[in-house]
Each structure stands twice: as structure tokens, then as C-alpha cells.
Amino acid sequence: MNITPEKLDEIIRIVHLAGIEIIKIYKKKVTKKYKSDNTPVTNADIRANDIICKGLKLHFPEISIVSEEQIKKGKAAKKFWLVDPLDGTKEFLKGNGEFTVNIGLIENKKPVFGIIYMPTKNKLYFTKDKKSYFSKLSKKGQPTNIRKIKVKKRNKNIVILSRSHSLAKSEIEKAKKMIFRRFNANKIIRSGSSIKLCYIAHGLANVYPRFGTTMEWDTAAGDAILRFAGGRIRTLDRKILCYGKKNFKNTSFIARS
């Protein structure tokens, strides 16, 4: 599906607005509770979810929405949005700023569009006509200095790992050596949230291994941005990650430039 430039502007407006509301809560009053799967949800997740779902319904009434905060039961539609209104809730609660707003569009099990906004840094990644772009959003929400991005190959890879999954100090050196060997790497960087996939798309890292379960809304937008920048996410049996799976669950995967 082609998203027209006018519709893309609307989607940018939606993530910007969600970002503004998240930052307001970030600076003032975060309230938190735990969901049935024992992960935290805050008033910012809920508020951003409302804004995004309302906006998408208004501009794309024909496309169904699956959101982290509004999970649909049953089989996935042929075409649907995957929304994570606030990815990196743990980072949000820690106050380190590494959280993002994510909207991905799935068609025939593939991500065909993605947008990720990091409101603390005004960083915006999005796709358009099967290419990926980076820009900064102005205070008014206008993208400035839009640049096309591509993955960057290296002789020795840079591995990017999650921030919130930490190892004991004694284990770090051992794990490092293993990771360097396994991924032909000589450097490890860490970051929270879906921005890791954007960093590979942007040429700042090469490999992001993620072991364990993630949800499709965690990866859909970043997957689109990575694919159209020349990278791929594969499962451990080397299949390209697909969407609309049972309960919208991803298995372990490795994203690469």
C-alpha cells in the first residue's frame, strides 16, 4: 500500500502529538501499574495510545489496529497497523530518555511502512516509497533536514544490545568475547527500545541479537525502517521475520545490516 505524502504528514503529526503528551507526563507525573504479564504500563502509554489510535482511525478508517495497549484477539487481518505507543517503558521509568513511539503497517505478513519517533531527542525515522529516512522534528512538528539512510557494512561488526538486560560484571568479559567471535565484531554498544533497529538502518551498528520473546509491535516499525535501508531481521532458523503470527509473538531473532 502506498501512503500518500499528505497521509504521511498526518502520521508524523500523530507521533509528534503522542510525543508531546509523553514528555508532559515524563516531566510531571508518571503513574504506573502492572499488566497481567507483569510488565509495567504508565499513564503515558495509555495517553499516547489514545492519540495514535484516534488519529489512525480518523485518517485510515479501513485499516484495523493492533496495539500493545489494545490487543485484538483472533486472526490478524491482511493489512493492519502494529502500534507500540511507548516502547521502552522501563527506560521511561528510569528517566534515561531512550523511549520511542512506534507505528508499523503490515500487509500480507510483511512490514510495508514504519515510523519511529524519539521525543527526548526529536529524532524521527520513517519509510517512504520503500526507502528509509532520518530527520529531526522541529518544535512545531515539521521534519527538518530529511536524509535518506542506508545500512553500512564493516569488516568488523558493531553489535548493539538492549540496555535493560544486564549481566553481572564478572560475566561481561566472558560474554563479550563470545559475542565478538559469534558476530565477527569488535565493539558493543547498548541502547533501549526499538531505536536499536534504527541505528542499524542508519549505519551506526551492524548486528542486534535478541533472544527470547518480543511482541510484533516491538519490531514492526523498526523492521520496515531496517528493511528499506538494506538490512533484515531473521529468526534463528534463518527465516525472514513475518507478522500476524499467533498472539503476535516473535521468537528470538537477529537483525543485521
Contact residues: Mg ion, CB under 5 A:
68, 84, 86-87
Of 222 and 230, CB closest to Mg ion: 222
Of 102 and 257, CB closest to Mg ion: 102
* Dihedral over Cα of 10, 257, 122, 23: its sign: positive
Asked if 191 and 199 touch (Cβ cutoff 8 Å), the reply is yes
- Grid coordinates in use for 91? 527506560
- Grid coordinates in use for 222? 523498526
Asked if 199 and 160 touch (Cβ cutoff 8 Å), the reply is yes
CA pair distance 194, 230, nearest whole angstrom: 17
Asked if 256 and 234 touch (Cβ cutoff 8 Å), the reply is yes
- For 95, the 3-state DSSP assignment is coil
Q: How far is the CB of 227 from Mg ion (least distance, A)?
A: 22
Q: How far is the CB of 86 from Mg ion (least distance, A)?
A: 5
How crowded is residue 102: how many other Cβ atoms within 10 Å of its Cβ?
33
CA pair distance 220, 245, nearest whole angstrom: 12
Q: How far is the CB of 115 from Mg ion (least distance, A)?
A: 15
Q: How far is the CB of 54 from Mg ion (least distance, A)?
A: 17
Q: How far is the CB of 181 from Mg ion (least distance, A)?
A: 33
